[in-house]
Amino acid sequence: MGRVVSDLGVIAVLGDPVRRRLYDYVTAQDHEVSRGEAAAATGIQRPLAAFHLDRLAEAGLVEVTFRRTTGRSGPGAGRPAKLYRRAAGEHQVSVPPRDYRGAAELLAGVVDMIGGEQELQRAARSRGAAAGRSALRNAAETEQGSRPAGARDAEAGDRDRLTGALAEQGYQPYPDGPEIRLRNCPFHALADRYPPLICGMNLALLEGLIEGAAVTGMAARLDPRPDECCVVMTSSKNNEH
């Protein structure tokens, strides 16, 4: 299980709390991050940020690009800035060794072969609804005792609850105007291999999540963008603002 050991080495690089904060910041951004920006965002000195960012890059957890940020080129334009962004690779560690991904690929292949998409979507929807109900209960517990919410607050509360539930499931949600988009696809490798099957499953999961979390006025639909999840949450009301 050499693979597991090397992934463990990669993940151990995140054991340092400063490095972990930098990793979390860089991977949550939609742009390449400079050393200065990362330092400011995590509240540490620039040389320290540079040191840890380069450790992350050596481990392959972030990727490095060089770009002149001044727009000038040629002699006198200065050195290009070193920029960091999330790496495409994924790492999984299971101790003792487990191979759920291998099993998932086999099962997906069989569902695809026997044409069981609609059954998969039904199962995904009820799984999503269960996760949504649990998010709703958690939100109710933390909100107890707070003042009754107005209509506007209720809408904001719905969005917050949905965002929290999405983050809990590993989607890395971020607001994009009235929409909530998802920076991470939790099923990436499988979705790459069986796109309609896995994206259909994912959509059903998220429809279930919205329903279970009693989020009104939001709906999930397929709208793939490069390097993001294939699903987006949009307002289901028609531009009432």
Partner 1 sequence: MTHWPGGWSDGRVTGYQLAQLNVGRPRGPVESAVMAGFMSRIEPVNALADAAPGFVWRLQDGDGPGAVWESLDALRDFVYRNGPHLDFMRRRREWFHRMAEQHLVLWWVPAGHRPDLDEALHRLDLLRRQGPGPLAFTFREPFGPLAAESRSRAAASLR
Task: Kindly list the residues in this chain that would bind partner 1 in the complex (CB under 8 A).
Answer: 114-115, 117-118, 121, 193, 195-196, 199-200, 203, 221-224, 226, 230
Q: By the 8 A CB rule, do 136 and 214 touch?
A: yes
CB nearer to partner 1: pick between 96 and 115: 115
Cβ atoms of 214 and 137 closer than 8 Å: no
Contacts 24+ apart (CB under 8 A), 14-21: 14/61, 16/52, 16/55, 18/42, 18/44, 18/48, 18/52, 19/52, 19/55, 19/56
> What is the phi/psi pair of residue 13, to 5°?
-60, -25
Beta carbon nearer to partner 1, 209 or 232: 232
**85 vs 133, which CB is nearer to partner 1?**
85
Tokens found for residue 113:
């072969």
Which residue's CB is nearer to partner 1, number 9 or number 109?
Answer: 109
Nearest approach in angstroms of CB 14 to partner 1 is 28
Identity of the residue, 124 or 131, whose beta carbon is nearer to partner 1 in the bound complex:
124
Q: Which is nearer to partner 1, 165 or 203 (CB)?
A: 203
CB 236 within 8 A of CB 219: yes
CB of 27 to partner 1, least distance (A): 22
Q: DSSP 3-state assignment of 185?
A: coil
Distance of CA 46 to the CA centre of its chain: 27
- In whole angstroms, the minimum distance from the beta carbon of 206 to partner 1 comes to 13
- Minimum CB separation from partner 1 for residue 224, in Å? 5
CB 176 to partner 1: min, Å = 15
Instruction: Please state the closest distance from residue 99 (CB atom) to partner 1, in A.
Output: 21
Interior angle at CA 221, CA 220 and CA 226, nearest 5: 115
